[in-house]
Amino acid sequence: MNRVALSVSRGIARVADAALGPYQTAVVRIGFAATWLLFLLREFPHRQEMYGPDGPWSWDLARQLIADNHAFTILMWSGSQVWFESVYALAVLSSALFLVGWRTRAMSVLFMVGVLSLQNRSVFIGDGGDNVIHLMAIYLVFTRCGQVWSLDERRERRARAVRARGERPRPDRAGPVLWGVLGLALALATGGGRLGAGWLAVYWGLWGVQGLWWCVVRRAPHGEPRILLDVVANLVHNAALLVIMAEACLIYSTAGWYKIQGSRWQDGTAVYYPLHLDSFSPWPALSDLLSSQGTLVLLVTYGTVAAQVAFPFTLFNRRVKNVLLACMMTEHAVIAVVLGLPFFSLAMIAADAVFLPTSFLCRLGGWASRARGRLAAGRVARALPRPRPHRPATEEPTEAAQAGSSA
């Protein structure tokens, strides 16, 4: 009994003392922010047809649907073109800032607002990758995904270095200003009756917690209130991380078990048919080449089903999990090229990244840091003025030499 109690206490201490998976949550943040940002930039010329007030799915039709399903989207607050462009720009900007990890807590909320607003505006546009982004945007709000590989982490590291030298770091002005601007926007939305009771509680709660966190860090950075906030934040982070992992397993397991019930997957020909659809054949010659290999089609069909069904069970064996994870990421990369579904594949790869081993992510971060250092050194070297070649000064002929030459 004592051993069981000791194990339970150690587990509780580990979950409460630290936010687990800092590199995994960081790479998930970067992956989904990059995927959504690239999607918005790629579809920028077509944004009016997809989400605009005068698109095929008009603003009035969207308002009628949202009145029934009560989905959250700030695009329904106004049907003007200026409001639409502002929301689209907010989605692009928040994605970019969330990607680099600037004010990660606030940007995670704005990132979620941008994703939900655009996707819920036109629910008939998108694929499975959009559904994954939709869910992960909500989960990431509750994670401490800016612990590493972010501008927040770099700012905190510099502040620690300043305090280690016995100096006082510069006061944070951008954070309170951003907090105040978001509070004003939230107050205006609340006063205008734009938010329901549930979303009011969520957004005001997040805004209040962020203000409380800033006050505690400023007034008592090493006191008991700060320790309590850290424990609560770690518990929430670890719970959200567990949900993200469970969601990825659920996606693969349900997809695999549904495939087993299909006759085309049972006879090994399911992969053949998408290769001959015009909508999924950006490279017709490549699709014809792959579909002509009957054995390859059979192996890919059965291998896909086996990998998706078996993936949740491989988590108990690290080596098998890593091998299968590499195979699934490779498969998504092939889908992006062969079937022309880059954003679906990027979303799934970003979701898979939560299972990557920490040692691999640390090595990956080291490679990226060294590559960035070489690029920075190269730019500095090119910016420096080049030394001019040394030329010996021409000696003036003396009078004796002139006289000798004349003689």
pTM higher than the cut 0.85: yes
Cα(326)–Cα(337) distance, integer angstroms? 17
Residue-wise pLDDT for 136-173, tens only, equals 999 999 999 999 999 999 999 999 999 899 888 888 88
Does residue 90 carry a pLDDT above 80? yes
- Please choose, from the candidates 320, 234, 227, 338, the residue with its C-alpha nearest in 3D space to the C-alpha of residue 280: 338
**Which amino acid is present at 47?**
R
pLDDT digits (tens, 9 = 90+) for 14-38: 788 899 999 999 999 999 999 999 9
Q: Where are the beta strands (DSSP E) in 202-343?
A: none
- Amino acid at site 68: D
**Is the predicted pLDDT of residue 397 greater than 80, yes or no?**
no
* pLDDT at residue 319 tops 60: yes
The span from the CA of 395 to the CA of 68, in Å, is 95
- Checking if the pLDDT of 83 tops 90, the result is yes
Q: Where residue 7 falls among pLDDT bands split at 50, 70, 90?
A: confident
How far is 355 from 322, CA to CA, in rounded Å?
8
Mean pLDDT of the region 222-234? 91
Position 400 confidence tier, pLDDT thresholds 50, 70, 90: very low
Encode pLDDT of 278-301 as tens digits: 888 899 999 999 999 999 999 999
The region that residue 283 occupies, defined by phi over 0 for left and psi between -120 and 50 for alpha, beta otherwise, is: beta
- pLDDT exceeds cutoff 50 at 205: yes
